[in-house]
Chains A and B, each alone.
Chain A
Amino acid sequence: MSTKPDIPDERRRAILAGAAAAGVSLGLPTGPAFAVDGFDRFMARSEALTGVKPLDRTIGRSLYKLLNANGQVDYLTGYRPAGRSPAGRNEQVEISIISAWYSGVVSTAGDHRLATYQDALMWQQLDFTTPSGLCGGDLGFWSNPPKA
């Protein structure tokens, strides 16, 4: 389960910035995991993992929310916390983040939630075609290799 307080990211960032400036403690967990805003950290990690930069922040918010709902927040915000991560969990989280960006869907134990379809990275990266369900072009375009 998440230990993150239920505070919107923007609001929390402001609080943290203010807290740092004032040098006061809000009772939040301290240390590297929470020194930087969770969403920004998520986006940075996502760009590093997916190999695509910049990633869309609106889609990122949806994915971040869905991934957090899966109870993975500790691993997203406190990425690779030293000594606290069971073996293999970081890798699983990385694969979850990559899968979510490429497919546009967050899947956990048979539960599938869609953040985006047409703008999923799979279609952006498969620049030789269009998302399944949308017209790809005139009759017969599929007969030849895609135009470079």
Chain B
Amino acid sequence: MLPQLSLKARIFTSFAIIVVLLSTNGLVSYIGSNRFSNEVRRIQQVESVNASVLNVDRDVQELRLRVDRFVSTGYDSQRAEALNIYGRLQKLIESTKTLLEEGEMANIFTQIGTHVEQYMQQFDLVIEERRIRRELFQQQLPASSQKVEELFDKLTTASADGNSEQTRLLALSQAHAYFSQAEQSLLRYFETPDTKHVNEAVAHLKLAEAKIKETENLAAEQQLLLDKISEHRAIGLQAVQSTRGYLFFLNVVMAGEASEISYYSNLLRQLAEESRDRIGQRITSTSDNIKRVTGLTLAIASILSILIAARLAFLIIPPITALTGAFQKLSAGESLGQVPGADREDEIGLMAQAARVFSNQNSKTRELLKRSEALSEELHAKAAQLEESNEELDSFAYIASHDLKSPLRGIRQLATWIEEDSGKQLSEESLQHLEQLKARIAKMENLLSDLLNYSRVGRMRPEPEQVDLSQVMEDIVDITDNPSNVAIQWADNLPSFTTLRPPLEQVLMNLVGNAIKHNNREEGGVVEFDWSLEGDRYRFRVQDNGPGIDQRHHQRVFQMYQRVGDPNVEGSGMGLAIVKKQIELMGGEVRLESQLGKGSKFEFTWPVNPPATQEERDG
């Protein structure tokens, strides 16, 4: 079994078949047009031959006319014209023969040429016969007749007396009369050729001779007359025979040649006509064949095109449609039990294999998604637990810090009372202890206070208000302990906007406070505060030229109770944790850029618009 062809191969093959059919059609048209051209050329040749035939006919007719006129008139001009026409005919026939290929028509032209030549040869004989006849009839015969007449006269005048003389004269007279009758008969013959006139003439001459023989006594003259009459008869009969001769050449031989010429020229015309008809039929037939063949090839090409297109469409569209549906399902994340066209070996088969890969991938993805969803749910649960735990922790921290402060205050009070009451009784050491106790208590209170503040973050829901940051910075400078006179600088155009004041103030207070507090410069310490607007949020920067923070502590500084830097600097380690918590609660973010010895820069973002109020959120 043959391997299944690829779609590309099938499409190319199909197009090749159509192209071959169309080329065949073109070829047929080309051959047909060539045939047309050939037939047209042949028709032109036939027309040319026809024209020649007509010219030959015309010349032959004219030739016969000139010959007839010459025969009837004897004019040399007619003969010359006949010869002139003959020369023209010969050239015409020869030139026409060169037009024709070897074949029937060329043979016929040869026949015509031959017969025309023979016709003219006979014409030469006619000319000669006519000359002889004219000479006999117009010269010799009258001269002979005159001699006979003279002899008759001589014999008559030389008559003698007596009865015998009268008899002789009578006989001579009768002989003369017979001779005259013979002359008349001959003349009649030359006017109207008929053998009976000749017979009459001959008979009368015989009678004349008989009568002359009846005479006596003049034997010498008698014999001379008889000889002259005999001579006269011979000349007359020669003239008769010449007449017969040229009549024969003219009426039989030349007419026969002319009839053959006429036959062949008719045949030529007929052949030319048939040839024209045949060519016409061939043209019609060629035209019909071209129409038929081109129509057929076009029809076949059309049908094949349709069949091929249908076949290709059947081969391509349904599987492509099915594959499209399959890919739509695959794009929707579905997986397929069966991929259409997977059993094919062509491009669609390859696409089906690809779809199978996608389907398998989808199955895996879905499984992963399920697992992800499960993990997500688990994560949510954990987050909820964590949040709950945080809340509990916050609550605990709040409660603890809040609730512990009260007993701590009691302890501090008790310590104060102890000092007040028994301070003087107490040893130095106890007093020192008492001082330590108080210091510890104060520290404890600070710790609790910070813890309380931290836990309060997010717990308080203040309403937004207009906050002028310049004012805020001035307030901070006013309330912040700044023993090293660290310079606090801020831009003149600090924004004033509506936001939650407490958290922002707390953030700035902590950051600026930390910067002052940790600045280790005896003098020249500087804290700078500036800002920029980025879309719907501000970016604030608090930068100092303090000792800087080691890179490894950058994450830890934001954690609770984590302190870095100089341990002598007072602090609970909660400031930056509170900053981070406040900022993130507002949807912003905070980051630190710092290196040891090169100062620190805290950047945080803050929404331009205040968060929705509780009412807005509820409503």
Partners in one complex: no
